[in-house]
Amino acid sequence: MIGMRAMPNSNPKYRWVIIMLSAAALVSVTFGVRQVFGLFLVPISIEIGSGLQMFSLAIAVQNLIWGLSSPFFGALADKYGAWRVAAFGTLVYAVGLLCMAFMVNETGVFLGQILIGMGLGSAGISIAVGAVARAAPPEKRSLAMGLVTSFGSFGQFALVPVAQILMAQNGWQFAIVTLSAIVASMAAFSLGMRTPAGSTHPLEGVVQTASSALREATSNRDYILLTIGFFVCGLQLVFITTHLPTYLRDSGLSGDTASWSLALIGLFNIVGAFACGWLGGIISKKKTLATVYLLRGLIIVAFISLPPSPGLALLFGAAMGLLWLGTIPLTSGLIVTFFGPRHLSMLYGLAFLSHQLGSFVGAWLGGVWYDWYGNYEAMWWLNAGAGLFAFAINWAIREPKPFSPASA
């Protein structure tokens, strides 16, 4: 009897690790699968008989739905538990992929991307980092969120080449059906994010309602600056993942070069996201975040200024990968610093809405510009300039000391 009682009492100390690993597995697939859509841009557009603008708009709508749904699903996760919301999200995501595979028309593409957007809002990064932030001890929180984010990149590294091989050997429909099955299987991992009563690290700060937290955040100058900067992150990331394969193809490079460039983004971000999470725990989060945006802009300028080659494309993927999702542990870490972890899923979800508005612009405007002018030159310069803008406004954030009950 005594031995049986000892196990539950010893679990809380390590329960956050199980939650972190489960969240990491979930994010690796939900993030990894969405990064492959650029590979389907041309074949689906040809199959349907539409220009790139249609598929680009569908991906833009997906990102918009993802952003719009994130605060709603985040509030549900904060109140009822992340695992319930995540399990629902993986199934919705999988159904969206099946719609794309079997409804081979514009309606199928748009319906599929809408459902995928809802799936990402309910089983994506905002739900995962919220669960981890609430469970992890404060001194390990930034590192834990960086680790979860880095697994999203591992999923991209693993799944982009897999999708390319499946599509080359069996066609794009078979590849999408296979990805749907992988996503659906993640419902099992959401169970690992369950939080038994008393098993997580105590939340800092005073008890606050969701509506009160929302009012406080939306009137906070630094939260607003952080949210505006996150718009640029979405603009850059989705433009690159959606349009880089087409840009490289037009530059005379192979589809394999494009897929490996995207895969290298994922591979190197395993290191980059983890490093940013680690740095956020020991030095200024806002200065680290601002530097990430600055370096992105400079790398884009270098990439479009040099003659296209396979080596340059791979080097670009590696360099951008080091900076890719490092914004997530730093942004979510700043939100925790501002307001504490209790309503992180909702408040990060609201900031993420701005990110997804940027994603909408990056995916859609890139396709429109390409259909109008036949190239991406102006869009690349727009992304470079946006990086410098994000550097400036993030540097202007006033970073307080870490949130604590004494400061509440």
- Is the pLDDT assigned to residue 196 strictly greater than 80? no
What is the structure's pLDDT at 6?
38
What is the structure's pLDDT at 386?
97
Q: Which of 13-17, 52-56, 223-227 has the largest mean confidence?
A: 223-227
What is the structure's pLDDT at 262?
84
Q: Please tell me the distance from the alpha carbon of residue 275 to that of residue 293, in angstroms, as a whole number.
A: 15
Q: Please tell me the distance from the alpha carbon of residue 243 to that of residue 41, in angstroms, as a whole number.
A: 8
Closest listed residue to residue 71, CA positions, set 354, 345, 359: 345
Q: Please tell me the distance from the alpha carbon of residue 174 to that of residue 172, in angstroms, as a whole number.
A: 6
Q: Please tell me the distance from the alpha carbon of residue 295 to that of residue 319, in angstroms, as a whole number.
A: 9
Task: Express each pLDDT in 320-332 by its tens digit.
Answer: 999 988 999 999 9
What is the structure's pLDDT at 5?
40
What is the structure's pLDDT at 60?
81
Our CA dihedral for 223, 225, 227, 228, rounded to 10 degrees, sits at 160
| pLDDT higher at 295 or 359 | 295
Cβ-based neighbour number of residue 102 at 10 Å: 12
| pLDDT higher at 230 or 125 | 230
What is the structure's pLDDT at 126?
85
Residue-averaged pLDDT of the chain: 87
Provide the CA 53 distance to its chain's centre, in angstroms: 23
Q: Please tell me the distance from the alpha carbon of residue 354 to that of residue 203, in angstroms, as a whole number.
A: 27
- Three-class secondary structure of residue 195 per DSSP: coil
- Is the pLDDT assigned to residue 341 strictly greater than 70? yes
The pTM of the full predicted model, rounded to 2 decimals, is 0.78
What is the structure's pLDDT at 108?
92
Tokens 């009563």, residue located: 197
Is residue 152 within 8 A of residue 272, CB to CB? The reply is no
- Classify residue 140 as exposed, middle or buried by CB count within 10 Å of its CB (0-12, 13-18, 19+): middle
Q: Which of 142-151, 201-210, 214-223 has the largest mean confidence?
A: 214-223
Is residue 35 within 8 A of residue 161, CB to CB? The reply is no
Task: Express each pLDDT in 240-290 by its tens digit.
Answer: 988 998 999 999 998 889 888 988 887 898 889 889 989 988 899 999 999
Domain layout of the chain by residue ranges: 2-191+209-402
For the chain, give percent helix, strand, coil, nearest 5: 85, 0, 15
Residues 6+ apart with CB under 8 A from 38: 241, 242, 243, 244, 245, 246, 258, 262
Q: Please tell me the distance from the alpha carbon of residue 242 to that of residue 372, in angstroms, as a whole number.
A: 17
Q: What percent of the chain has pLDDT over 90?
A: 50
CATH level 3 topology of 2-191+209-402: Growth Hormone; Chain: A; (1.20.1250)
Is residue 97 within 8 A of residue 180, CB to CB? The reply is yes
| pLDDT higher at 5 or 121 | 121
Task: Express each pLDDT in 129-178 by its tens digit.
Answer: 888 888 888 878 888 888 888 887 788 778 888 898 999 899 999 999 99
- Classify residue 57 as exposed, middle or buried by CB count within 10 Å of its CB (0-12, 13-18, 19+): buried
- Categorize the per-residue pLDDT at 189 as very low, low, confident or very high, splitting at 50, 70 and 90: confident
Q: What tokens were used for 197? A: 């009563």
